Amino acid sequence: MESSILVNQLIVVGRRKNYTVNFNPGVNIIYGDSNTGKSTIVNLIDYLLGAKNFNLYPEIDAAARYAALDVTLNEDRYTIKRDLFNPNALIEVYTCPFDKVEQYSCRKYLPNFQKPSGSDDSGYFSDFLLDALNLPNIKLKESPSKDDSKLARLSFRDLFKYCYVDQDNLGDKRFFNPENWAVATKNKEVFKYIFNALDSHISEIQNQISEKTKQKNKLVDTYSTVSDFLRESEFASMVSLDAEIENIDSDIENLNMQILELNQRQIADTEVYNTIRSELNKISLEKRALTLLMREQETKIERFTRLKNDYLNDINKFMATLSAMNGIGEVNQQIEICPVCDNTLNVEIARERFDVANEEKISHEINALKRRARETESIAHETKRLWELNKVKLAELELAETNAIHLQEMNTKELSSPYLAERDMYVSKLGELQQKRKDIVSKLKVRNQHSTLNKSINSLETKITQLQEQLAELSKNTPSLSNVLSDLADNLRDYLIAVKIKSPTGIKFNEQTFLPQVRDIDYARITSGGLRTIVGVGYLCSLMQEALNRTMNFPSFLMIDTVGKYLGKTKDQKYAPDSTDTAADSMEAVSDPNKYQNMFEYIIKLSEMYENQNKTCQFILVDNDVPDHIVDKLSGFIIAHFSSERVNGLPVGFIDDADLM
């Protein structure tokens, strides 16, 4: 029975944009400087496949909203969506590629076994994955040697340990051989499970078949009920819904175009409006200047008119003076004595206090005043004339102003109001269409859900068939674990010879621990960290290779973080030197770049074998740097390459705009 996990795309939905990495079937290589988010990518995949938690990197923390994984499990495409900040939030699964998510409704799963399932109608994410991969969902004995042992649920995570090695575990002595006895026992049980070597396997498969058949029948019922309902309620078909959405989309585009055009026209109208306004401003400025000038002229007229009147009054007074001089005549210059008090009445005093002028001088003054009166008169007259002219000008300006204001009103009324009405119309239409689109999309969700039911039925049928085949095969020849181990040892030997380690002898699998031995030394006792890395990768590869030939409960997926660990080629020696015996490393010559290259070539060959058998597999390999001389050979497999210095325009990391925040 073949199972496969094929990651198509990893998406981190960010606030500003989405960060994506695309994956291919077969080998995928991610490399780049440390701290550029390589491990983030594999950690995210791990997290989206149900890991307990996810270490938030600052860049992700700042930029991301949630993560999604577009993945093909066996034949079916799924999108898994998970909250990055709350690992206990329900995981959403859509039965469609990521870009169609909005048209499908999702199922929600509990990320772990902590809460009882069914509490809010959601099952366990692990069950979903096992189911989707058509792997038997069983319980394992905690103490395999006892018949009445407690049973523990097999989780997808137990299995996934064989599919993903992070950079801490790879090459570690405790890799697959934890000091915790319970975990070690479980690992062994899982190993047996992978190779269908569990005692209870046949009965488990029978259970599985009956379970799945039950499920299928239930689904068939549901499907036909829903079909009837949809038919009776004259629910639009998927095809017509799709067509309708397409129509609405083109209508929306048209409307947007029209609104854009309208906006452009309004800009042109605004130009006219601005011209009128500047003209109005000019007119009002001129008007003010003119009014000011006219007021000055009015003052001038008043002043000169008054002055003229003064002159005329003065002329009259001088005329009167002349008359008085004639009438009264010269005044005697004598001194009288008051008959009562003997004071002198001095007439001369009066002469000192008043002007005494002769006739000639007064006549001269009268003439001068007459002339001045005429002059002031003519100035006042001229000013009056100018004022009249200005008055006409002012009237003209006022007319122009009235016209301009009228024009402005016309412009606003005749041009803007219909524009606004038109725009309102478009906008409301647009709103209607968008609402309608939403309605149809939700209808489409119903349809999609319905067809998903059908798909599930089909996939259940396939799974049942597969299980039946497996059952038949198992009942024919139950695999013996020693056969399995010897086959695995053959695979490992092929690999170690291909990698060209020194003296590839004594290669077998320990019958107790199910772990590899080289030169009859248990994996955990190998002193060279580099060799442990090579053997560890080989161990996992031998499982991958075995899955080609044998019916296994293994999803043909391998994700290795820092393939070159302890191989002495990594720029950044961040691993504690006591984890590896450097002397042993140099003895083994693990830093020989050829060995590294051989490992890659072996993996590539393995994926080609899958391809030749028309089977699906996926390797995701992460490393700090790939030596230059093999980059060319591997270039076809590199899916992401980061450079913290942005060398050659390479992205700075997975979150490629972190430095812009």
Cβ neighbors of 368 (< 8 A, separation 6 or more) are none
Please state the closest distance from residue 338 (CB atom) to another protein, in A.
10
Indicate the residue among 24 and 313 with the shorter CB distance to another protein.
313
Cβ neighbors of 14 (< 8 A, separation 6 or more) are 63, 64, 65, 655
Indicate the residue among 353 and 571 with the shorter CB distance to another protein.
353
First-to-final CA distance of the chain: 48
Please state the closest distance from residue 347 (CB atom) to another protein, in A.
5
Distance CA 252, CA 437 (A): 10
- Contact yes or no for 213/462 (Cβ under 8 A): no
By C-alpha distance, which of 559, 551, 511, 538 is closest to 602? 538
Distance CA 131, CA 156 (A): 10
- The C-alpha angle with vertex 376 and arms to 373 and 380, in degrees rounded to 5, equals 135
Please state the closest distance from residue 364 (CB atom) to another protein, in A.
10
Please state the closest distance from residue 329 (CB atom) to another protein, in A.
8
Please state the closest distance from residue 375 (CB atom) to another protein, in A.
15
Distance CA 65, CA 80 (A): 14
In SS3 terms, 515-574 reads as: CEEECCEEHHHCCCHHHHHHHHHHHHHHHHHHHHHCCCCCCCEEEEECCCCCCCCCCCCC
- Contact yes or no for 233/447 (Cβ under 8 A): no
Please state the closest distance from residue 289 (CB atom) to another protein, in A.
28
Please state the closest distance from residue 276 (CB atom) to another protein, in A.
43
Please state the closest distance from residue 349 (CB atom) to another protein, in A.
5
Binding site for another protein (CB under 8 A): 303, 305-307, 309-310, 312-314, 316-328, 331-332, 334, 336, 345-347, 349-351, 353-357, 361-362, 365, 368
Indicate the residue among 20 and 305 with the shorter CB distance to another protein.
305
Indicate the residue among 18 and 313 with the shorter CB distance to another protein.
313
Please state the closest distance from residue 386 (CB atom) to another protein, in A.
21
Indicate the residue among 369 and 518 with the shorter CB distance to another protein.
369
- Contact yes or no for 27/604 (Cβ under 8 A): yes
- Contact yes or no for 72/6 (Cβ under 8 A): yes
Please state the closest distance from residue 320 (CB atom) to another protein, in A.
4
Indicate the residue among 323 and 434 with the shorter CB distance to another protein.
323
Please state the closest distance from residue 264 (CB atom) to another protein, in A.
60
In SS3 terms, 11-60 reads as: EEEECCCEEEEECCCEEEEEEECCCCCHHHHHHHHHHHCCCCCCCCCHHH
Distance CA 13, CA 312 (A): 99
- Contact yes or no for 206/464 (Cβ under 8 A): no
- Contact yes or no for 199/559 (Cβ under 8 A): no
560 DSSP β-pair partners: 165, 621
Indicate the residue among 357 and 481 with the shorter CB distance to another protein.
357
Indicate the residue among 353 and 476 with the shorter CB distance to another protein.
353
